[in-house]
Amino acid sequence: MRDITAVLGRSRLTGEALYTGKETSQVLLLTYMRSGSSLTGDILQHSPGAFYIYEPFRSLGHKNKSSYILNYANVVDYWDNVTSLLLLTYMRSGSSLAGDILQQAQESFYLYEPLHSVEKALVEFKHLSMATPDKSHRLPPLEFNSEAAEELYNWFTCDIPKLPNIALLDSFMKKGIKSAMMMDCYRNTVKNVGDISAALLLCAKQLKLVCLNSPFRIIKTIRLELSSVSYLLDRLPNLKIIHLVRDPRATLMSQSRMGQCSVTKGGQQGCTERFCKRLENDVLEEENILRKHQGRIMPVFYEDIASEPIKTSKKMYDFIGAEFTQSAEQYIFNITMAGLENDCAICTTRSNSTEHIDSWKTKMKLDFKNIVQNRCNYILRRYGYKIYTQDELVNMEVLNPKQI
């Protein structure tokens, strides 16, 4: 017993990147199934001041293990060669599909709408504080755009223990191949340790290592204007932005189906005004970035992804310097062209993605089409979308009496 516990006073088995203080001893008990590890671990955890975790990587055993290899020696090398990508777009503009395509890149770390919970907390529920795993506790005033930009910075730099707890425990974390481990780790650690705060910190540190070992860090968001994040291009010299745009007529028809154009939200006129105004502001900011940061922002059109998914996906991979592998190509074919069932409103599989490009022409009411064409005229012309005459719009309406 004395020989075993004595190791706590004289051994540090972790590398420099994990060492947190001069008075801290960290021990990795590495062994094999049925070799007495449970007994040995139980002995060690009774040492005064010990914090013990039993098999923290158990939840990763059911996933692709190669995706989660924590190679500490390469962390610094990856940091020197990392590429960060922000996929910035709008509700119902094909972002779930585009994000899923991008996360198939080898060694990528993908986050699906990481600002979701923070937006609800600060905009809808107006929380009074923002607790994080590292115990920092920011009090009001808190403003969404500044908090969101700082959160993006922490995600891109893998400073995950500084992120809000509500962001780390958001159900959307499950939509990332690697980020999904956070929820698995948290549930198992709480079950084994019984300490919520300790579980959050431990799992945040584990996710940090996964992030650091990923040279491609990709975030998809519909919750910020381009002007709110463009300054990150100065803070993160390896950051690139894909600005994903869809025909405003198709986007607004789809948003209307999701309740965004209800009477309480200003009706069709109100939702059109909000969306087109935001898109106009983003277009101006996109042009500024193209001038100031050449090669760091790329506009991509949903229509190109839907009509030529393989070709457009390869362009996006080339933009961030990722290899377009055969497995990625096959996956993209399967979710866009293989005739699979459509998943759901915010999912990625489309039985035939080309069918979605022009569906607004026959499913959107004439009045709504006119509202969007008039208010979004600049955007339609700027991005080369066809503006139809009144006769052409009327002829479209005759094709389908069931319209929005």
**For position 11, what pLDDT does the model report?**
40
Residue 397 is which amino acid? E
Tell me how far apart the alpha carbons of residues 152 and 114 are, in angstroms, rounded to a whole number: 8
Closest to 164 (Cα-Cα) out of 177, 174, 155, 156:
155
pLDDT tens figures, 41-75: 777 776 666 666 777 655 444 444 333 444 444 44
pLDDT tens figures, 115-140: 999 888 887 776 656 778 887 766 65
Cα angle 172-177-182, degrees, rounded to a multiple of 5: 60
**For position 38, what pLDDT does the model report?**
76
Tell me how far apart the alpha carbons of residues 56 and 62 are, in angstroms, rounded to a whole number: 13
Backbone angles phi, psi at 14, to 5 degrees: -100, 165
**For position 131, what pLDDT does the model report?**
78
What are the residue boundaries of the structural domains of the chain, listed by start? 2-52, 72-246+294-356
pLDDT tens figures, 351-365: 455 667 889 999 999
Stretches in the chain below the pLDDT threshold 70: 1-25, 46-52, 56-80, 126-129, 137-142, 338-355, 398-404
Asked if residue 133 has a cis previous peptide bond (ω within 30° of 0), the answer is no
Render the burial of 116-131: b for 16+ CB within 10 Å, e for the rest.
bbbbebbeeeebeebe
**For position 18, what pLDDT does the model report?**
37
